[in-house]
């Protein structure tokens, strides 16, 4: 049976470490590191995510404020607000909660964030730096995946890694990060002909397709390390991942549960990025 990768406990350790860094920063500069979260509209899931982010910041000694805008807010208004936050020296990080209402030009908004304050790591400048292997601010969920592997002492160099999904949010960045750490990486996607054929050669599998139970035990190599990024809500309201936990955990050496695996790491990495941004801006 596979060892469970307890993302909740690991994220808690990281948040404790960040609280120490935040306290040292506040002592040194006389102000707390500061994150501004912009929420447009009242999508219930987004409201929960934003509240969780704000609470986690406060607990770690990071000053966080959520700026709540009406669903009818126009792209230009949002750009105006981002311009002000970009110019405010006391604001270290800016996060725009996605998804934005359909009438807003999401790309224009994300591109307007000062790359030095882009704690989600979505700005093309930071994406380009990630490609070059030298980004300070990397997307939080992929960064959380790598941190889990490191803290579980999983050897990455020279291993075969398979990433299921090629989104800009998760699949592509996590593939780049694994490549930088010298894994041999294969990226699978919806047009991949035989997923099992690729996965059966993988020592590390990162599943980020948003398809419940897509990866089953028979597709896996014995002893593989499995990170399940998927968050899929079932009809009964429960949440499940992209990996069929029951069959996969019989083959794997390590596996993340859903919930309680990769999910908690995303917020921990947001706090980390806010600290990194604050320190870089004050260096």
Per CB under 6 A, 114 contacts ligand NAD: no
Residue 31 Rama label (left phi>0; alpha psi -120 to 50; beta): beta
Sheet containing strand 93-96, strands side by side: 63-69, 34-40, 93-96
Decide the pairing of beta strands 239-240 and 232-233: antiparallel
How far is CA 147 from each of CA 3, 77, 98, 266, 279, rounded to the nearest angstrom?
A: 17, 37, 23, 10, 20
Within 88-163, residue ranges assigned H as helices are 106-112, 124-132, 140-151
If binding is defined by CB under 6 A, does position 5 make contact with ligand NAD? no
Tokens of 241: 């991942």
| Piece of the chain touching ligand NAD by CB under 6 A; list 22-30, 34-42, 71-79, 189-197 | 189-197
85 forms part of the interface with ligand NAD (CB under 6 A): no
> Judged by CB under 6 A, which stretch of 60-68, 93-101, 108-116, 158-166 contacts ligand NAD?
158-166
The interface mask with ligand NAD, positions 199-238, x = CB under 6 A, is ---------xxxx--x--------------xxxx------
Report how many residues bind ligand NAD under the rule CB under 6 A. 25
- Given a contact cutoff of 8 angstroms between Cβ atoms, the answer to whether 215 and 200 are in contact is no
Options 14, 78, 112, 170; binder of ligand NAD; rule CB under 6 A: 170
Q: Is 20 a catalytic residue?
A: no
Decide: is 141 part of the binding site for ligand NAD (CB under 6 A).
yes
Query: Toward ligand NAD, which CB reaches closer, 231 or 276?
Result: 231
* Partner residues linked to 188 by β-bridges: 164
State which residue, 86 or 167, has the beta carbon closest to ligand NAD. Answer: 167
Say how many Å lie between the first and final Cα of the chain, rounded: 47
Which residues from 243-272 bind ligand NAD, rule CB under 6 A?
262-263, 266
Least distance to ligand NAD from the beta carbon of 68, Å?
22
Instruction: Tell me which residue has tokens 């970009």.
Output: 86
How many alpha carbons fall within 13 Å on the CB side of residue 61? 18
**Which residue in 32, 36, 53, 221 is the catalytic one?**
53
Strand partners, 58: none
Tell me, yes or no, if 117 is annotated catalytic: no
Q: Angle 44-60/7-29 helices, nearest 10 degrees?
A: 60
Task: Out of 34, 195, 198, 268, point to the residue binding ligand NAD (CB under 6 A).
Answer: 195
Active-site residue set? 53, 97, 120
Residues that bind ligand NAD (CB under 6 A): 141, 164-167, 169-171, 188-190, 192, 195, 208-211, 214, 229-232, 262-263, 266
């Amino acid at each position: 049976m596979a060892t469970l990768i307890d993302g909740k406990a690991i994220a808690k350790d990281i948040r404790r470490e960040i609280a120490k860094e935040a306290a040292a920063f506040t002592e040194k500069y006389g102000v707390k590191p500061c994150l501004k979260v912009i929420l447009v509209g009242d999508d219930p899931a987004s409201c929960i995510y934003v509240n969780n982010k704000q609470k986690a910041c406060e607990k770690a000694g990071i000053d966080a404020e959520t700026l709540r805008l009406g669903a009818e807010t126009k792209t230009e208004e949002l750009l105006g607000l981002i311009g002000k936050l970009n110019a405010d020296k006391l604001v270290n990080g800016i996060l725009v909660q996605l998804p934005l209402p359909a009438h807003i030009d999401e790309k224009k908004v994300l591109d307007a964030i000062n790359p030095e304050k882009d704690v989600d790591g979505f700005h093309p400048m930071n994406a380009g730096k990630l490609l070059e292997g030298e980004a300070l601010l990397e997307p939080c969920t992929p960064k959380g995946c790598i941190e889990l592997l490191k803290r579980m002492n999983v050897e990455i160099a020279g291993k075969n890694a398979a990433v299921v999904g090629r989104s800009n949010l998760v699949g592509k960045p996590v593939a780049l990060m694994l490549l930088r750490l010298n894994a041999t990486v294969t990226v699978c996607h919806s047009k991949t002909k035989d997923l099992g054929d690729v996965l059966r050669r993988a020592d590390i599998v990162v599943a980020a397709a948003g398809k419940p139970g897509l990866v089953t035990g028979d597709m896996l190599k014995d002893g593989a390390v499995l990170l399940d990024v998927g968050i899929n809500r079932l009809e009964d309201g429960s949440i499940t991942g992209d990996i069929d936990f029951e069959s996969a955990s019989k083959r794997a050496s390590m596996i993340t549960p859903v919930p309680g695996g990769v999910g908690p790491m995303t917020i921990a990495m947001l706090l980390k990025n806010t600290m990194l941004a604050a320190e870089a801006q004050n260096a």
